[in-house]
Amino acid sequence: MFLGIVVFLFLLAIFDLVVGVSNDAVNFMNSAIGAKAASFKTIIAIAAFGIFIGATLSNGMMEIARHGIFRPEQFYFQELMCIFLAVMVTDVVLLDIFNSLGMPTSTTVSMVFELLGGTFVLALIKIAGDETGMLGFADLLNTEKALSVILGIFLSVAVAFFFGTLVQYLSRLLFTFNYTKKLKYTIGLFGGIAVTAIIYFMLIKGLKDSAFMTTENKHWIQENTLMLVSCEHNCGLAADLNSPEHTGLDEGFEKTAAFRWLCEHAGDYGFILRYPKDAEDKTEIIYEPWHWRYVGVENAAKINASGLCFEDYIETLQSIAAKG
């Protein structure tokens, strides 16, 4: 019997995934499709990859909700199966109805309140059948944490509204008016902040609680958080380059015609070799012939003419400014 319930729950999970993802995918793709940022197939592929990565790197929201809503150690296995079965059936039906009516909803919020409702009803049944009279809601429901989870859900609406309004206003201010002059500067800054925030929450906050993360990996992420979120690529000014001659990101790239062309002409477009040879003591990064950074045509010309690395060039400018 229980094997049949487990199989049924698995099938419901598949239906729930289809229904839930169809709801989330619309939110994920509507801006890209509306802006015609790419072809529909490309957007679908990126959305599918993003949802897969999000599911893989999630920090177990439902595990948090489960421990925050009720105390599983106080229930028999049969009772837990009843709760989860009720949650899955309700979630599939509810999300399907909302999607059919074109109404927005949240899979996580739905499941949290479904857990709360299912547990509350089962708690009433257990308390009514308790002959000792010693069993209470506090023994079955984690009321304190449940309240904090529910308050967090409602507060998130207000927080999302405030920051959504702020970001929209700043975006309009930066990009809408006379955007052709500002775009090459602001898009790099805006994109860098966005990518840094995404990487921070995905790697630092999400990945650390994933099941496949080891203690050593978590410790390394904690020690190198600043390096991960402050990577030059996040600012939109750096790029890793390769060529059909050598597709790997290693020192073999320096033997290609593409690298020789970059050494001769990259400065004309404002780019420099970011981590040159014999500069590891200053850059604290090993030689990377594939890593090029935009600094502007004038700065690139001065750096290339002087033979300084980027760190030495910045120190020189700071020294000149201090004397002036």
Residue extents of the structural domains in the chain: 2-176, 178-236, 242-323
Q: State the burial class of residue 118 (Cβ atoms within 10 Å of its Cβ: 0-12, 13-18, 19+).
A: buried
The residue behind tokens 């009772």 is: 79
Give the pLDDT score at 302.
92
Give the pLDDT score at 285.
84
Give the pLDDT score at 228.
60
Give the pLDDT score at 289.
92
Give the pLDDT score at 126.
86
Give the pLDDT score at 151.
84
- In angstroms, what CA-CA distances link 19 with 12, 100, 115, 147? 10, 10, 18, 28
The fold adopted by the segment(s) 242-323 is: Muramoyl-pentapeptide Carboxypeptidase; domain 2 (3.30.1380)
Contacts of the segment 167-171: beta carbons below 8 A, 24+ positions apart: none
Q: State the burial class of residue 292 (Cβ atoms within 10 Å of its Cβ: 0-12, 13-18, 19+).
A: buried
Stated as kind and residue range, the H or E segment containing 238 is strand 238-240
Give the pLDDT score at 246.
87
From first to last of its 324 residues, what are the pLDDT tens digits of the chain? 667 777 777 777 777 666 666 666 666 677 777 777 778 888 878 777 777 776 666 555 555 555 567 777 788 888 888 888 888 888 878 877 877 777 777 777 887 888 888 888 888 888 888 777 787 877 888 877 778 878 888 888 889 899 889 988 877 777 666 666 666 666 667 777 777 777 777 666 666 666 666 777 767 666 666 666 566 766 678 888 888 888 888 888 999 999 999 999 999 999 999 999 888 888 888 899 999 999 989 999 999 998 889 988 988 888 888 876
